[in-house]
Every structure is written in C-alpha cells, then in structure tokens.
Amino acid sequence: MLITGYPKSGNSWFCYLVSYCMNVPYDNLGEPGKHPRNPEHKRMLSGNLAHKSYTAAHKWIIQNHDLKPYREAIGNREFTIYLVRDGRDVMVSYYYYLYKFMVEERKQAGLPGPAAMPQGVDDADMFSTFVASRAAEWRDHVAQGIAARPDMIIRYEDMQAAPRETLKAIFAKAGAQVEDSVIDEALAIFSFKTLSGRPKGQEDSASFFRKGIVGDWKNKFRERDREAFMAIAGDALVELGYETVRGEKPQASRDEPTAGLRRKISALEEENRRLIVEASALRTELKKAEARRDALLNSLSWKVTAPARAALGLFTRK
C-alpha cells in the first residue's frame, strides 16, 4: 500500500496508524529504514504484532511524497491513497519544519546548515515570501495526485475529526477487518501527546510534531498571505472543500466527500466506464481480424509448402 501526500500533510502519523492497525510493516520511501526513530514505535510498525496481519495482501505500508512512484504504483494496480490537508496549514507546518526542525537536527548531528538558511524564522516578511513561493507547488501536487485516480483520497482534517470512522472506511476498501480495539490502541499509541510529549495545541516549533491541530494557519497568516495563497491555489482549496468561491467556510458533512471531489470522481468513473466499453469493442474487432487471418492462411496452406511458409514468416495452424 502506497500512501502519498505533499510534505507536512500528516503523512507520518497517518501511515503509523494504518501500519499498526493492519499489522503490516512500515517504511518511508524517501528515507528507508530511518523512521520511526523511537525503537518501541519501530517494533510496533514491524508487522510482527499479535493481532491479525494483512501482509499477504499488502506487503508494506509505504510513506511517499514523490508523484513518480505514486503513478507507477497506480499503474501496477497497487492499493494507493492520496492524503490531503488544507494547504494553508501545510504552509505553516512546512515552514517551521524547514527553518526550525531541520536546523536543530543538523546542529545536533554536527552538520552545517544550508548556506542560504535565512535568519529570523518568526519574521513575517520571510514567512510571506515562503507562502508565495510554495503555494503553486502544493496546488500542482494535489491536482496531479487527485487526477492520478488513487483508490482513496483522505483528508487530514477528517482523520483529526473522526479518526476511527475514517480508518474503518480505509480498511473496508482495502479488504481488512480491523477490530475497534486495535484502532483505539493505535490512536492512543500514536497520539500527538505520545509522539511529541506535549498536549495537542501546545507548540514546539523545533519539533517534527509541532502543534497537531487544524486551522493553525489563522494564527500565522496575515491578510496579504491569505490573499496571495487564494490567488495562487484558491481553486484547489475550493475543490477540496476548504473554502467556497466567496471565501467562506463550507458546511459540508465531514462524513461525505466534498462536492468538488464528488464531481471529479464521478467524471473519472464515467471516463473509466467509457474506456472499458471501448476496450471491449477493440477486443471484438481484434478477434474478427484474427479469424479473417486464420481463414486466409488456411485457404493458402495447400498452395504454400512448409519451408516457404517458414521463410515468409506465415503463421500455421496447429
């Protein structure tokens, strides 16, 4: 199972939960064997726990950000999930990840920071520059991820609001029957408090698990940041249900896909049905062509000797 999303979309937390519940080993395609760093968590994501394992059907739970292996997995009919998160929350989380967490990590490892690493992480102008430079990248990643037609599209916000229900829907689609007690264990083991050592909402900008809440962009975005992001990636926010055309929050039920996604999925399913019909018609035409070929070769077989048929590369009936 390949789980793909733009960086800082809740990818690690989500993959840990799926791996534990399905008792299937986890790894990160970008950093194989490195995560999770906590030895006990690593053991819990090894696929060797006591509860039922679905390793036979899903050999690995693979975390990934790169769209190339994601498309290849879809082409190979592997089970794929695309994880999305409000791009504005992504911007805040990604910003602090790059300019605080990574700096501290490199210091602890005795490595120099990037030569162009800016100073003054909390500077509003620097944050605005970051948002303006990354918004299109997020928009394009999400658009391509959805267009690739994964098996499921999951919103980080739904995982936060209704984690058990969202996970059960995933397992049903993946052919896994996971007990509620196992899901509850996973949610406790990989809660924000357990992973970070802090209550959800208490910020540590130098931590990989920084704050763990939905909507924190409202505390960081200034009006110019909101306008810049909407100008660049507003259509994606609307389609994913994070904004309406008027810039107001929609009131759609969290238990249903957003209207924009429903329309896209419906259109893709219709296109898939059209292609199936077209493929069936082509197979029928191919069979007719093969029948005409066989009939022609059969009519010629009494005129052409075996050596001549071999020399001409003609097919012979067995």
Higher pLDDT, 193 or 71: 71
Kindly report, residue by residue over 17-51, the tens digit of the pLDDT.
999 999 999 999 988 888 888 889 999 999 999 99
**Quick check: 318 pLDDT over 70?**
no
Question: Is this model's pTM higher than 0.95 or not?
Answer: no
CATH for 2-256, among 3.10.350.10, 3.40.50.300, 3.40.140.10, 3.10.20.70?
Answer: 3.40.50.300
pLDDT band of residue 237 (cuts 50, 70, 90) is very high
**Residue-level pLDDT at 224:** 93
* HSE-CB for 235 with a 13 A CA cutoff: 6
| Residue 310 predicted with pLDDT over 70 | no
Domain chopping of the chain, boundaries: 2-256, 268-312
Q: What's the pLDDT score for residue 207?
A: 53
pLDDT at residue 202 above 90? no
Residue 126 CA to residue 115 CA, distance in Å, equals: 16
159 or 260: which leads in pLDDT: 159
- Mind giving me the DSSP string for the chain? -EEEESTTSSHHHHHHHHHHHHT--EEESSSTTT---SHHHHHHTSS-SSS---TTT---EEEE--HHHHHHHHHTT--EEEEE--HHHHHHHHHHIIIIIHHHHHHHTT-PPPTTPPS-TT-HHHHHHHHHHHHHHHHHHHHHHHHT--SEEEEHHHHHHSHHHHHHHHHHHTT----HHHHHHHHHHT-HHHHHSS-TT---TTSSS----S-THHHH--HHHHHHHHHHHHHHHHHTTS--TTSPPP---TTS--HHHHHHHHHHHHHHHHHHHHHHHHHHHHHHHHHHHHHHHHHHTTTS-HHHHHHHT-----
Q: What is the mean pLDDT of residues 82-110?
A: 77
Question: Is residue 124 very low, low, confident or very high in pLDDT (cuts 50, 70, 90)?
Answer: confident
pLDDT tens digits, residue range 151-201? 999 999 999 999 999 999 999 999 999 999 999 999 999 876 776 565 655
Ranges 92-96, 240-244, 253-257: which has the least confidence: 253-257
| pLDDT at res. 256 | 45
Check pLDDT > 90 for residue 105: no
Is residue 98 very low, low, confident or very high in pLDDT (cuts 50, 70, 90)?
Answer: confident
| pLDDT for residue 223 | 94
Lowest mean pLDDT among 17-31, 130-144, 289-303: 289-303
pLDDT (0 to 100) of residue 70: 92
pLDDT of residue 288: 86
% of the chain at pLDDT higher than 70? 70
Task: Please enumerate in sequence order all residues whose Cβ is within 8 A of that of 131, keeping only pairs 6 or more positions apart, or say none.
Answer: 91, 95, 221, 225, 228, 229
